[in-house]
Structure 1
Amino acid sequence: MNEQKTIAISEIEDKHELIAEVADKIWEYAELSLQEYKSCDLYCDTLTKEGFLVEKGICDIPTAFKASFGNGKPVIGILAEYDALSGLSQEGGALEHSPVIQGGGGHGCGHNLLGAGAFAAAFGIKKYLESAGENKGTVILYGCPGEEGCASKAFMARDGEWDDIDAALTWHPEDCNEVVTGSSNSCIQVQYTFHGIASHASATPDKGRSALDAVELMNIGVQFLREHMSDRARVHYAITDAGGVSPNVVQAKAQVLYMVRSNHVSEAVELQKRVDKIAEGAVLMTETTYERKFVDGLSDTVTNRVLERVLYKNFEELGVPEYTKEELLYAKKLSMTYEDSDHTPGLGSAFDIMYAENVKGLRAEYAKQCREAYESLGDNEEPEDNNIKTVAGAKASDKRVGGMNGFLLPHFEGEAFEPGSTDVGDVSWCCPTAQIHVAAWPNGCPGHSWQNVSSARTEIGHKAAVHAGKVICAAAIDLFENQELLTEAKEEFKKRTTGGYICPIPKDAKAEAVT
């Protein structure tokens, strides 16, 4: 790497302890969507001390912020997240399910690491800008709360926050090291609260109007809708209030939360309109009334190959995190506690047989190195003798190939699709955007699990955050130094977004926590 990158990367390495400390504090706070007040304050206070210009509460979201350094163009945005998930409290570094607070929150998606890695990248870029000169450009670290239950980046897109930046970069903890590509599902959440008339269900049933009937009829209507929507569309629901526990009372209030997904945001918006009509039909059939509350919405992701290649080049140059023998053994043991620890990692593996075969070869080669590490620590027995609970029916040989993926996957440039959703998609409709995955837990570790929470509070997680920061920082320096890359990225962006951005957030909607 050139001298400028070397200096910037060294700055990140020098702040390894601070980055890990912040990641661990966010892990401990484990604050849910739009309730991340301690996490937001921690970032804002630390960034202010480090010389960034910090603005808290952007786009009318109290736990959102942006921290800027530098002057002029280009402007590179780095995206941070820091919300946790409910019910996933877990002891850090443990090899069994052990909640710290029963029913409490936990970072099952690793957002304590995600934010810390973006934080790390901002430090490195700031160091580069200081050495390159005042007018070289600007870096903005965006604190984006509520990815799991609000989609704050989509609210920011509606308010034009992304319109003035030249490119956005981010990352996400995963079970492998790769550059992210392809599309994802868009998603819209709406809450329907039906109001009826309470009455004695036996003595005067004719006087009652059941809100629960309206919920059930709405659900039936949506079931029939499923035959007449796109293959990639999905509609999920949860009855959040069934009207009480007394069957002899006609329920006067009932509530259901709906989530509509489709590959393209324009399709999701149209599908949501059809679900709204079904709610109106349920009201007519039951002679009830209803309130419709928009919760959140987010878009599919737009690929940008130019930025992907910049990220991959720097990922190749920097390599991947290295682990101690003890860390490798921990990862191996953790992978014994869930199914599918031998799956083939990588977005491209599901879409290209030859790519998947290549990845299997890389895994097999790395597994040999790991076995040597296990044996050097005296762990040469079968997993059943390690006092670790194995998955029912699993063979010991299957578990031998679990553990970390300590290698970089080839850059997949085919068509890929993730059925999940992320509000990074809305950023990608407003400016060129790209992201990477860095291994923060063992192969096949299930998303939103206690195992994720456990690993996110270890040095394996810390190393993922620091390394992600280095890759993003180095890629950003390339964009500052070679603005032809940005020009190419913008040209590709224009071609891929010719249909225009359809924001799923209504003009009057406010970002609010779901309670």
Structure 2
Amino acid sequence: MELTRKISGIIDSKSRQFIDTSDRIWEFSETRFEESQSADLIASVLTHEGFTVDRGVAGLDTALIGSFGTGSPVIAILGEYDALAGLSQKAGSTEYEPLVSKGNGHGCGHNLLGGGALAAAVAVKEYMLENGLAGTIRYYGCPAEESGYGKTYMARNGLFRDVDAAFSWHPYTGNAIWHASSNAVIHATFQFIGRSSHAAASPHLGRSALDAVELMNVGVNYMREHMIDEARIHYAITNTGGFSPNVVQPEAEVTYLIRAPKTSQVRELFARVQDIARGAALMTQTKMEYRIEGGCANLIPNATLGRVMYKYMTELGVPAATEEEIRFAKAIYESISKEDKKTAAAQVGKKLAVKLAERPIPDFIVPFTEELSFMAASTDVADVSWNAPTAQCFTATWAFGTPFHTWQAVAQGQSSYAHKAMLYAGKIMACAAVEALQDPDLLAKAKSELLEQLDGETYDCLVPSDVRPPRLSQLKQGQFETV
């Protein structure tokens, strides 16, 4: 209890700084690889707190590493700060109220994620100073988790190879340790080039790139019956070739996400999707090119570190919610669809769902279990987990039932209970990191568990070595689209 008391004191004494940082990142609402203001702000706080900050790591303009201390062990705290396109929303509103039409918004709470991780790193630094602890604490500022997979590039460049343990967290509707695997993913865009012509006078002279995109999509949809159930393939047409139906479309583009539980399975599915794209090009006499936008591995959670996080989660205790906070959370809960409420209820059971519908900020912690669950979505934290033992926690920043990537999540991004949950997560990570710094046996056990899980496999990055992330200058010139 002494450690939790000291860490709580450090974070509470600097809470205004972390809350202000989170709120300003919420206001910036910068999407993939464009998080320049957010990265600048976090770098300035880290520098002010005595960290040595490296900017632009792994060729990512908005990535950074803040380091304090020297030598081993090296403990990583993972932070994110990218927003989502099309989710602009007024903070504190209980109805859909965009601040900017088609603007960006933090619909996954990465403003809170980055702020909570910052609180953890600063608290560990302070504790190291006060107690003369050896080792290194690092804050990894990781851009483009939503689309672009910044951590994958960082892992590919070896930035986690000397890390002994990594801790992260994520905003959620409950309090729990995240002991789950996830789907690996490849994100690729397919471009078809045809030949324009008058669609009525000379259609026989045209070759429609849009036809190729449509045929590709049909082919992939027929493929769904012949792949494993856990796999997911989804797409968006990002260029239809124009708006005039009397012109044969000379170009068109579609972007794909291809997911499966293992990297080898993703590679196999991606090869089949490429074949379908080639077939669509042959059928339409168009040319096809593709580019890989990014990708990430499947997540490997570490139960050894998860148990440590759970211990401190329970020792610290869930922050108490005020009646005013409950009223706001209940109004948010009432705004979500019946389908989302039904889905949320199925996850917790009927009895608890009735209770949470009335008081939608959970005041309990889900018991930790080492039984592995599965998440169909993907996260680039996975690429860290292949290189170092990694554990994560959830804390209740959102009202029960709040779906990810919605205006309701954005509306709660500056709420007082989200701030409390963010600081709670920071305390959990900081306590776990301090224990890892002081306990070589814990680290040895965590590493042994990771080796057992890998079972002879090594990290196989899904982003080829010749694929480079876009630079800010390219994005500003419109050479890359945010998708």
TM-score (norm: length of structure 2): 0.94
Residue from 234, 240, 243 that aligns with 1:242: 240
Q: Distance in 2 between matches of 1:244 and 1:434?
A: 47
Residue 7 of structure 1: how far off its partner (Å):
2.6
CA offsets 1:247-285 (integer angstroms, 9 cap, x no match): 221111011111101111221111111111111111222
2:461 maps to 1:494: no
Q: Secondary structure at the match of 1:411?
A: coil
Match of 1:143 in 2: 141
Answer yes or no: is the 8 Å Cα contact 1:266–1:502 preserved in 2.
no
Percent of matched pairs sharing the same residue: 44
Q: Secondary structure at the match of 1:148?
A: coil
Residue from 420, 428, 443 that aligns with 1:463: 420
Answer yes or no: is the 8 Å Cα contact 1:7–1:127 preserved in 2.
no
Q: Secondary structure at the match of 1:321?
A: coil
Question: How do 1:43-442 residues align onto structure 2 when only pairs under 5 Å count?
Answer: 43-133=42-132, 136-339=134-337, 400-401=357-358, 403-442=360-399
Match of 1:514 in 2: 481
Residue 5 of structure 1: how far off its partner (Å):
4.5
Residue 344 of structure 1: how far off its partner (Å):
8.1
Answer yes or no: is the 8 Å Cα contact 1:30–1:84 preserved in 2.
yes
Q: Distance in 2 between matches of 1:363 and 1:280?
A: 49
Instruction: Decide which moves more: 162-171 or 408-417.
Output: 408-417
Q: Secondary structure at the match of 1:187?
A: strand
Answer yes or no: is the 8 Å Cα contact 1:333–1:403 preserved in 2.
no
Residue 343 of structure 1: how far off its partner (Å):
5.7
User: Would the alpha carbon gap of residues 315 and 289 (structure 1) be closer, same or farther in structure 2, given more than 3 Å must change?
Assistant: same
Q: Distance in 1 between matches of 2:301 and 2:19?
A: 31
Q: Distance in 2 between matches of 1:463 and 1:102?
A: 30
Q: Secondary structure at the match of 1:141?
A: strand
Cα RMSD of the aligned pairs, angstroms, is 1.7
Residue 194 of structure 1: how far off its partner (Å):
0.7
CA offsets 1:468-490 (integer angstroms, 9 cap, x no match): 00000001111112111110000
Residue 401 of structure 1: how far off its partner (Å):
3.0
Q: Secondary structure at the match of 2:358?
A: coil
Residue 441 of structure 1: how far off its partner (Å):
1.0
Question: How do 1:440-459 residues align onto structure 2 when only pairs under 5 Å count?
Answer: 440-459=397-416
TM-score (norm: length of structure 1): 0.88
Answer yes or no: is the 8 Å Cα contact 1:190–1:258 preserved in 2.
yes
What is the number of residues matched between the two proteins? 471
CA offsets 1:136-192 (integer angstroms, 9 cap, x no match): 110000000101111111111111111110011000000000000121111111111
Q: Secondary structure at the match of 1:277?
A: helix
Match of 2:434 in 1: 477
Q: Structure 1: which 5+ residue stretches go unaligned?
A: 351-355, 368-399
Which amino acid letter does the alignment assign opposite residue 414 of structure 2? R
Residue from 461, 473, 483 that aligns with 1:503: 461
Q: Distance in 1 between matches of 2:92 and 2:68?
A: 35
Q: Distance in 2 between matches of 1:331 and 1:182?
A: 27
Answer yes or no: is the 8 Å Cα contact 1:72–1:138 preserved in 2.
yes
Q: Distance in 1 between matches of 2:131 and 2:238?
A: 54
Q: Distance in 2 between matches of 1:39 and 1:183?
A: 29
Q: Secondary structure at the match of 1:320?
A: coil
Q: Structure 2: which 5+ residue stretches go unaligned?
A: 471-479
Q: Secondary structure at the match of 2:53?
A: strand
Answer yes or no: is the 8 Å Cα contact 2:193–2:252 preserved in 1.
yes
